[in-house]
Amino acid sequence: MNVQWTSPVSFVRNGRNKRIDSDEPVSKCPRLSESSSDAGYLSSSPGSPVWAAPLSGTTTHQGPSRIGQFLLIPIADRDGVHSALNVHTGEESVCKVFDMVHYQEKIRAHSILPAHRNISHIKDIILGDRKAYVFLEKDYGDMHMFVKSCKKLDEELASRLFYQVASAVAHCHQTGIVLGDLKLRKFVFSNEKRTHLKLESLEDCHVLEGDSDSMSDKHGCPAYVSPEILNSSGSYSGKQADVWSLGVMLYTLLVGRYPFHDSDPSTLFSKIRRGQFCLPDTLSPKAKCLIRSLLRKEPWERLTAAEILIHPWFHGAQERGSREQEASSPDQTVPTFCLENDESLFC
């Protein structure tokens, strides 16, 4: 396959933009959410306020495919994402495939957003006749699967990871970018020890025009959607809707399930509209305070993303974790958790 080099794209930091003459087919894998056990919870009908269009046809897992010097292998639990191996250098990365007519819109925010340690950057782009192949930094799995495997996190670990999440969101908001559809799956680990997080990509975000963050988009994951999106027939604050989603994420990290969940979308949306949830007594007062400050029914009563970063829970949780580590035995084992069979707790 011939590869034609073109002028570098200005917004691709440390990357190149290449053009190929034709596209080889890239395999697609089915969404994890389309399994029979949780399809009712993770997607709702087109008439609902929040829904995701189903994939057309029946998708099956296919083998590797080749594009330029890259070997692409679908990642089974992340729809539309491929593990990419440069066959010349052996370097690994992650590849997302977009239609040519949409790819510039999908990656537009990367040209606006200044670099941040908790946000992935584009390494390379290959343009085909019909598809654009966008290469990002290699990762070691997403937060959704990590929390699912641990069931829930202790406050010290949760505070370290959630601070990075909130930092990425605050950086986007400061630059005039609303993330929308914010959830655990959007954040991936950039190191094998799983201590450093990055926002996977900016493809679903909204670039604001001017100072107003007023939005009317109704799409997103049902478990993370805010009450005002369900209640309002008009516009809502995109930034404050993101903060609600952060509250759902924090609750899930610490409790091991969503604050609002039900297999029936209508019942789920009713629970979200009421905004009532339970906090376990095992949580510290500061953790409860932060969760309540994010999951407030009225958008203007919630903290901003920047205010989250100065909440005393972060300092308190890490201090408490250090004391517990000093008092514990040096012969520690990692506890094994039995996962619940109900896949609908996660999306």
- Euclidean distance between CA atoms 103 and 107, whole angstroms: 6
Residue type, position 245, single letter: S
> Closest by alpha carbon to 82, among 138, 23, 10, 149?
138
Q: Phi and psi for 99 in degrees, rounded to 5?
A: -65, 145
- Euclidean distance between CA atoms 106 and 96, whole angstroms: 11
> Closest by alpha carbon to 243, among 188, 198, 178?
178
State the pairing for strand pair 177-178/206-207: antiparallel
Q: If DSSP codes are grouped into helix, strand and coil, which group holds residue 218?
A: coil
Question: Which residue's structure tokens are 């782009």?
Answer: 125
* Given 142, 181, 242, 262, the catalytic residue: 181
Active site residue 242: no
Residue type, position 38, single letter: D
| Contact (CB, 8 A) for 122 and 107 | yes
Question: Which residue's structure tokens are 């969404």?
Answer: 31
Which residues are identified as catalytic? 181
